[in-house]
Structure 1
């Protein structure tokens, strides 16, 4: 009978042990299921983040490639060397940890990075063939030899024409390392879970996973952000709520806003008109291809090329909208200068041909008129003789005026060679100021000279003086009394800039496109030769002239000369 309590105690102990064991097993199984699910979800989220970052890189590469191709096509019209898309790929490969970049068509590789592995053509790879046919972007884990890479691929179009498929191979080392850390942390967490209980364990798992995902996200964000920061184009990205998540260095420089004042804010708060393209894409779900946008920022007029793209999650929902803005201002000015030079050359040659054809007949008419004036007396009537003399004088005067115009034509068609010499710009501009000062004083207009950085430039002082006096005279004609005219000069990164600014009536948008055309003038007694000659002189100095005008504020002519200090 004494053994009965002992047996019951042992039984209770056994039951308690079994209960604890079963509970522990149940909890362990539950945790294993939970851990497995969390591991699967973390792996899936990590792949999605890498995929999102890869899509950002792919979109930026495609837009930069389009710009590189356009600049490459136009290099024949410019003296500057322009790198093609192949150079762009090599630059990205040097700056970032990427296995390979390749552009392939259906049958082979069009261009790619150095040490490019043996890749199947599009027609031989169902994954790439599907991307080519569906005109989409996708990602996969792809074996290159014995090394797996995370490959991002997408169809590349230029001017609406299919070119091929861009393929970017990203290394899997970081991905495998993060997964290893996740597995290791799950094991450690399981051991801790067995000692501290379900509640504490659950809290710790949540915190642990949150930290792992945060670190993973930060690594991926840093990885892709490093690439985006090195792009020359401005990149702005916003999430589905319109909150800015990416604002790279190029965007900060272009829009003159520090990134910390933009990131984390909604697009309407920033109040940049060009960012409305992101809102339009969020509302319509449709990307916008490259289009021009005119941005007036603090009085500085910029021409931008804007394009948006969409990054979607695995459900097809919009995750991020990316805006890539390229500053086309310098390129547009170059195009305008080349077009202006072609027009001036053609019109100058035409004027030269016409001048030679009419010069001899005009001279003959002038000589005949002089002989009639000296030798011929039609009658003894004094009034008729007076009228005859006035008519012959008019003929002689007009023939001289035509000859002067012809001389201008010939000088414009075949300008004199430059007589370059080292010139102190401050002394040079003050000499011009002394010549112009009396004219401005008579019309009660304030005239000032400002030279921020003095320099000695290799120029033809006589011809450059003619150009600047012409611009100053135009400013004087356009500025009312009590207005202001400023002649200024300063150094820039690659040029020396001399500008003439006034507070006059400005130039209309329509006339801005014509002011450098021969014979175009808005003055009653103008010849239409002044600004074409100014443009010609600047071009002879290997410079360029840019005009900025606002009918309410006035006009500024900027002459940019190659900076070679002597």
Structure 2
């Protein structure tokens, strides 16, 4: 089961960040190489076209100039001088052909290597405008440029003479209408350069692909080698998470008693930062550590102890110790587990107190039921003897005294019943301010007689759910105690402070205050510091507040005063 809880390393092929980066770089380089190759090829082709266009225009202009020159010096008709010019031009090995046609596609001049693929383009020459056009025949590796053929220009001085000679020339080959000239250039050299670039690109692409697949292979090896490492890391992470989630302090020691590691709860328990704990002797951090915890040879040992941080109260703890061993069984240190048991001790005390109160309440309720009936009989007899005709004054005085004492005992019995067998709570929505005003009204005369000032501090209007009568009874008990403890001229304040969940009702006085012993026993039944007190008022009040899922907060300083706060939930809790 433990193995199932530990995080496993991935068994499937997954891309790690370094490998993914390598693969991404390889893919980017391949993409960049392909894009750069395409762009270089396009740029080279455009440069080739531009170069051949310039060379073609130059060649055509030279051919036109040669034609004009021939017309000036050749007067005989019947011979086509353009053929001679074409033959001379073709002596340049870079020129594939020269061809001139008229508007009916009749050939005027044709010299050189012209394939059928090139001849197909001549049907479109009629659409040529003033700018030259070009085409490329890749099977023949020939770049062809075509434009209108106009050997006669307006810049000639003897325009009429040139036109006359041009007409004589035309008698030899009889062209019809506009003539068009096409010049073809071999692109073999360019094609060789392009092939070399392509071979270089293919070589680089193969190298990048080798790098790409090599990266995949090494990543596979890296991942296979990293499975064990990843499993160890996951196990360590799992262990650390478990240790940090433990609510106890966990400390590991080396053989010399130095602290090697600890969890965060150790910082909270010892009120020290982690860097101030690691490397220190455990006795420097915890001087009251039981010696047997550090010296025992047993595998596991537990001890109760306590330690004190600065000026705080001693903290009860439970310590556990176990030896740490390596894979060969050699002792390498010790692990300490320290648990703060303050809450446990407090709960144990509260449980014991509740058990004692429950037993005392059950006994008190039983006694109260048994005593109440005889008390009623005694009161009736005392009233009978005191009211009988002919009774003396002394008899009436004794009768009145007996009735008062019986009433006092009846009041005590009533309190015993409230403590031992309280009635069911009648929860209702209570206006806290109205409840406090009613309570103050009931004790208004007591404050006047004692000459004590009452300072109400409950401006805010807040509602809570509770039993109005029982809460008023609790407040009456607290206010009566404050009145009795405060000398004339003193002050008693009644305060309300509420938040979203809890309401705090505080009764403060400037009386004599309470000692630590009195504070620890003030809610015990029959414990009182007053001569006429029964010691049940605060015990009953404590039971009422507990049944409302609330609690008391006590702050008292001898000869300064006391503040008792009732903390109650605003909503009813089941």
Q: TM-score, normalised by structure 2?
A: 0.46
With the length of structure 1 as denominator, give the TM-score of the two structures: 0.47
